[in-house]
Chains A and B, each alone.
Chain A
Amino acid sequence: MSSASLTHGETNLADFPPVQQSRTGFWFIGLIAATAWCAAALVIGGLPDIDDFERTGLLAKIAAGIAGTLFFFAVGEQITGFTTPAKLRNAGPWLLLTGLALTAWELTTAKYTLLPRPFFASPQALLEVFTDDYPRLGDSVWNSVRLLAGGYVIGAAVGFSLGVAIGWSRAIGYWAHPVLRLIGPLPATAWLPVAFFAFPSSHNASTFLIALATGFPVTVLTWSGVAGVNKAFYDVARTMGASQRFLVLKVAIPAAMPSVFVGLFMGLGASFSVLVVAEMMGVKSGLGWYLQWAQGWAAYANMYAALLVMALMCTGLITLLFRLRDRLLAWQKGLVQW
């Protein structure tokens, strides 16, 4: 009895001190990161290059700029009392690591050539690609995105419609299922020789292949989404006088959307690989073509630059898709975490 009253007293909310807005303290790791970038700047600018690199000076300036910014935030915070953005603060360890890595990379390539030369490009050579070859690189990105978008949109639209139709109609399912089962798992790239032969241009052929690669996962996951809709959802709508059209558009499709987005995500991944292969094999533009071209000229710095841009493009597109999903499926928050 006494213990009960004691517990009651202890759990009284008023006993807890109010949460204090505590300052996070000196950004120590920021200062170390600033030092690392400073060292990188000194190594790049101070030591002699083993070859004529055009952009050594610019690279040193960039490193010094980053070092200065970090120093400004780490020290300025203490003096002036403003707060460093939480995101920057959070990135501290990464900034330190990249500073150190850049220094090491610079030393082993441009300064002492500890790594075999043409294959391991120096940081300033990579920078030079961006400063000098940006029109061609930009053009390649544009062509890649255009080709990808065309094929992806067609594949997603066809896959979605087909998936809904198969999930909804038994008759369509009967005919589509075996075909899908046979053709679907075949990698889209296997169609490459046929496609380049059957279509009038390599651009059309690639669009077809990308659409094919996108379409399969979108179809299957839309279908399984529609087939997996809680049957009681239909009963509810039917008792209230819903038409077939209403059941498809307002019940089946919204309920299947989470699954559809998994399909769209998988389709996007598949479309990237088809895009690159198609560009390497026949299309005379785009990042895949740029990679191939750079390798042909043994321009390894260009190759790495193109790989970097490609990575940014892919992750950018995936992020875009996720944003769209978060917007359309806001109701899922708290139900499903990706």
Chain B
Amino acid sequence: MVGNLAEQQPTAGARVDVVDVSHRFDFDGKALPVLNRVSLRIAPNELVSLLGPSGCGKSTLLRLVAGLETPTIGTISADGDRITGPHPSRVVMFQDPTLYPWRTVKANVSLGLEARGLLRRQAHRVDEALQLVGLTQFATAYPHQLSGGMAQRVSLARALVNDPKLLLLDEPLGKLDSMTRMTMQQELVALWQRSGFTGLLVTHDVEEAVFMSNRVIVLSDRPATIKADIRIDLPFPRHRGDPRLAELRRQILGVLGLDTDW
């Protein structure tokens, strides 16, 4: 079903190929292996969650896909082109909103267009993005005047204004209160369905992964390997009370070794 959905949409999303990627950090002069021979193919328009224990290297994998770092071994490509650096078609939304405090909401959202010198011609897209996240009224506000949820929405608008083929979400809802988080999970899914970008979501929340994505990749402890690749064949919009979601969650917790209290 989900596969059909992806095929029906215009293929605006990027295909991502992670081929045999290993990565290590230099930590106090010692090599610290983070990723161990990870291979992964993400189809266009898929929304894939990376799930794993804290510090296992899921954010590192996301940074590699973003091009913010280069893998020690192996290659990562988007639509067949090898990723060697950051590119505006692959935008990251971080756990912290990382809005520039000296810029208004609108100026923050304009950032990507301004950086590429497109702001003058495409200024209308800034307003559209603000409208999309429902913050038109706050265009002239400064970040310190916003709540956590609003700031994260601005951060989302700032990503979307670039019209990304690949949206990389690094625990973007991790620091929000549970109610705001649930609302934003729904909004993100709705947005993803409408816009048709490929999504890669790093999260430590099993329920979030199951609720939002087509596929959940479970990673092992550091150095991370892929432990399980689970398809979530349920249509959107999903219901949190759906017994099949509960079943999938139990299955994933089992892979993580956390199923004893279930």
Q: Do A and B bind each other?
A: yes
**B residues in contact with A250, CB < 8 Å:** 114-115
**B residues in contact with A254, CB < 8 Å:** 100, 102-103
Query: Is B52 in the interface zone, CB < 8 Å from A?
Result: no
Stretch at the interface among A152-160, A208-216, A239-247: A239-247
**B residues in contact with A242, CB < 8 Å:** 115
Q: Which of B132-151 contact A (CB under 8 A)?
A: 142, 144-145
| Contact B92 A236, beta carbon cutoff 8 Å | yes
* Cα–Cα, bound, A240→B68 (Å): 11
Query: Is B90 in the interface zone, CB < 8 Å from A?
Result: yes
Which of A232, A331, A332, A334 meets B96, CB within 8 Å? Answer: A232
Distance in angstroms from B64 CB to nearest chain A CB is: 13
Query: Is A233 in the interface zone, CB < 8 Å from B?
Result: yes
Contacts A235-B92, A334-B145 given: A243-B100 contact, CB under 8 Å? no
* Cα–Cα, bound, A242→B85 (Å): 12
Q: Which of A220-241 contact B (CB under 8 A)?
A: 230, 232-233, 235-241
* Cα–Cα, bound, A254→B111 (Å): 14
Q: Which of B61-114 contact A (CB under 8 A)?
A: 66-68, 86-88, 90-92, 94, 96, 98, 100-103, 111-112, 114
Contacts A230-B98, A233-B98 given: A239-B92 contact, CB under 8 Å? yes
Query: Is A335 in the interface zone, CB < 8 Å from B?
Result: yes
Distance in angstroms from B174 CB to nearest chain A CB is: 14
- Of A230, A241, A254, the most chain B CB neighbours within 10 A belong to A241
**B residues in contact with A236, CB < 8 Å:** 92, 94, 98, 111, 158
Which of B96, B142, B145, B162 meets A240, CB within 8 Å? Answer: B162
- Of B100, B112, B145, the most chain A CB neighbours within 10 A belong to B100
**How many residues of A are counted as interface, with CB atoms below 8 angstroms from the partner's CB atoms?**
23
**A residues in contact with B92, CB < 8 Å:** 235-236, 239
Query: Is A251 in the interface zone, CB < 8 Å from B?
Result: yes
* Cα–Cα, bound, A230→B88 (Å): 20
Which of A235, A241, A329 meets B115, CB within 8 Å? Answer: A241
Contacts A254-B102, A334-B145 given: A241-B94 contact, CB under 8 Å? no
| Contact A239 B145, beta carbon cutoff 8 Å | no
Give per-residue flags for A299-338: 1 if the beta carbon is below 8 A from chain B beta carbons, else 0. 0000000000000000000000000000001011011000
Query: Is A257 in the interface zone, CB < 8 Å from B?
Result: yes
**A residues in contact with B194, CB < 8 Å:** none
Query: Is A255 in the interface zone, CB < 8 Å from B?
Result: yes
Cross-chain pairs A/B with CB under 8 angstroms, 7 sampled: A239-B68, A239-B90, A240-B111, A241-B162, A254-B100, A255-B102, A331-B102
What is A's interface to B at a CB cutoff of 8 Å?
A: 230, 232-233, 235-243, 246, 250-251, 254-255, 257, 329, 331-332, 334-335
